């Protein structure tokens, strides 16, 4: 359920037009160009809402018919969805080197 909540949170905020504008200006302030993956996720964000719905359906099925395989599948899909969304707003070029 935590993964579903995180996915829903990301999708809700990324879908807000002002978020995309602010986020784009953040990337620009770091003098970093948005990656193709980020642009893809932002442009198709309404379709990403399918991921938490699928995860929720799998979670309900898993609760009704417990099995290790179904539990593992649900967890893998949930974690993959979270990772895919989090990586859409991440860029190593935005990191500031410390030291040296």
Over residues 11-61, the pLDDT tens digits come to 888 888 888 888 888 878 877 777 888 888 888 888 888 988 998 898 899
Considering the entire predicted model, what is its pTM?
0.71
Q: Which residue has the tokens 């948005």?
A: 34
Q: Where are the domains of the chain?
A: 2-90
Residue 91, pLDDT > 70, answer: no
User: What is the model's pLDDT at position 96?
Assistant: 60
Dihedrals phi, psi of 66, to nearest 5 degrees: -60, 130
Task: Name the more confident of 93 and 13.
Answer: 13
Token duo for residue 10: 């990301």
The set of residues, in sequence order, having a beta carbon less than 8 Å from that of 68 and lying 6+ positions away, is none
């Amino acid at each position: 359920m935590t993964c579903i909540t995180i996915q829903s949170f990301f999708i809700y905020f990324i879908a807000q037009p002002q978020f995309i504008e602010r986020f784009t200006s953040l990337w620009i302030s770091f003098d970093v160009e948005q990656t193709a993956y980020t642009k893809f996720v932002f442009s198709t964000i309404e379709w990403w809402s399918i991921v938490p719905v699928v995860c929720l359906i799998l979670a309900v099925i898993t609760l009704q018919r417990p099995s290790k395989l179904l539990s593992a599948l649900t967890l893998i899909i949930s974690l993959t969805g979270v990772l895919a969304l989090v990586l859409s707003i991440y860029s190593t070029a935005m990191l500031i080197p410390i030291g040296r």
